Amino acid sequence: MPLDFVPEVTVLLAEPGAAPAWSWNLITDIQEMWSFPFMVNAFRAGAVVAVVSAAMGYFVVLWRQTFAAHTLSTVAFPGAAGAVLFGISAVYGYFAVCVVAAPEHRSGVARVSGLLE
């Protein structure tokens, strides 16, 4: 695929030595990697997501809601994709599909476990 539509990328790829050269010195490579602001931001965002996911995951397993959590995440992805397709924010698609799917899942679990009979 030609990169003619993005001249900056074409120039960077065409220049010799434009790509960072990895060395056998791991410390130097990590210091070079951390010199880029986007890598620092990515690490910060990843750390926040990891801590929040660990805390939420603990309670999901504690309350025995792993099936519900997996189902809602699987169902919500097409909702986000549909929202983006219609030009709406993906967050609204996630929220709308989860609100619609959660009562259906909850009543199905209650029926299967015998709580609503």
**Torsion from C-alpha of 1, 84, 72, 51, nearest 10 degrees:** 70
Residue 88 amino acid letter: I
What pTM does this model have? 0.54
**Averaged pLDDT for residues 11-39:** 75
pLDDT per residue over 71-110, tens digit each? Answer: 888 888 999 999 999 999 999 998 998 888 776 555 555 4
Percent of all residues in the chain with a pLDDT value above 90, rounded to a whole number: 37
DSSP class of 24: S
pLDDT number for residue 106: 55
DSSP class of 92: H
User: What's the pLDDT band for 117 if we cut at 50, 70, 90?
Assistant: very low
